[in-house]
Structure 1
Amino acid sequence: MAFAGKFQLESQENFEPFMKAIGLPDDLIAKGKDLKSITEIEQNGDDFKVTVTTGTKVLVNAFTVGQEAELETLTGEKVKSVVHLNGTKLSVSLKGIESVTELSGDTITNTLTLGDLVYKRISKRVT
C-alpha cells in the first residue's frame, strides 16, 4: 500500500500534555495546538521523504526502511534510528518515544507513545 500523498491534520488527542512531557516550551505549544499541519509523504519503494509543515515550522525526514537514518524529533534534535515497515504501519523509536504511523484508506493515524502518555494525530488525504 502506498503512503505517498498529502494529508491534513483532522484531529489530535493529548497534544498539550505530550508536548510538555517532551520539553517543548509553553509558547510553542500554545501556537501549535490549533494549527492544522500538512504532512506530505513521498515514497519510492523503501525510500521515504516525510515533510510536516505546521505554521512556519517545517520538519523533513528522509529514510530507507530497515536502514539507520538521522531523523529530526519534534523538539528539533537529530537522532539516529531505524524505521520499520510492517504491512500498513511504519514504526520507529526516537529517544524513548515510540512512533507508529498507520495508513488506512485515505487516513493516516500517527501514534506517539512516551511511557504511558499517548499522543494521537489523525490526518486525511487531501491529494
Structure 2
Amino acid sequence: MIEEAFGAFKRDHTPHFCPPPRSVNMSFAGKFQLESQENFEPFMRAIGLSDDLIQKGKDIKSISEIEVNGDHFKVTVTTGTKVMVNSFTLGQEGDLEMLTGEKVKAVVRQEGNKLITSLKGIESVTELVDPNTIESTMTVGGLKYKRISKRI
C-alpha cells in the first residue's frame, strides 16, 4: 500500500543513518569519579601490588581528570593522597606510569571512542561509552579488571 502511494522503490534494508561527525577527543576531556569496579583485588595482586596497598585503595573513589589538546592527552588520577599523571600523544611512544608506580614505554592509539595501549603485558582499553561515562578495562592473562567512572 505504501509502495503504491510513493511509487515503486527498492528496499535495501541497509541502515542509512550517519551521525554527524564530532570530535571524539574533546568528549574525553573532563573530570570523572570512580563509580564501580570489578575484580580490583585479584587484578592488583596479579600485577604485584601488596595486600596492604590493595586494602588501602579498594574503597577509595578515585578522580580522573583528562585534558585534551588535539592528539595530546594529560590524564591525572588522584586516589586518596596518591596522584598519578600520564601525558601522551596518540600514536607516539611515551613514558607511562603503571599502577605499580613503574614507568614503561608505550604507545596509546585511538579507535573511535576507545583509547588502547599495552603496558608490560597488561592490555588497557578506556572507552567513552556515553558523554558522561568512561569504562576502563585492564586485562592481564585471563584476568579482567573493570572500572566505571562518571563525569562530575
Tell me which interval the TM-score lies in, with the shorter structure as reference length: over 0.9
2:73 is paired with a residue whose SS is strand
Higher relative contact order (CA 8 A, sep 6+): 1
Measure, in 1, the Cα distance between the counterparts of 2:65 and 2:136.
13
| Residue of structure 2 equivalent to 1:113 | 139
Question: How many equivalent residue pairs?
Answer: 126
Which residues in structure 2 correspond to 1:1-127 (within 5 Å)? 1=24, 2=26, 3-104=28-129, 105-126=131-152
- Structure 1 residue runs of 5 or longer lacking an equivalent are none
2:60 is paired with a residue whose SS is coil
Residue identity opposite 2:85 in structure 1: V
Task: Give the drift of 1:60.
Answer: 0.4
Identity of aligned residues (%): 75
Task: Give the drift of 1:51.
Answer: 0.3
1:71 is paired with a residue whose SS is strand
Structure number with greater Rg is 2
Measure, in 1, the Cα distance between the counterparts of 2:29 and 2:35.
18
- Structure 2 residue runs of 5 or longer lacking an equivalent are 1-23
1:35 is paired with a residue whose SS is coil
1:12 is paired with a residue whose SS is strand
> What TM-score, normalized by structure 2, do the two folds share?
0.82
Task: Give the drift of 1:82.
Answer: 0.3
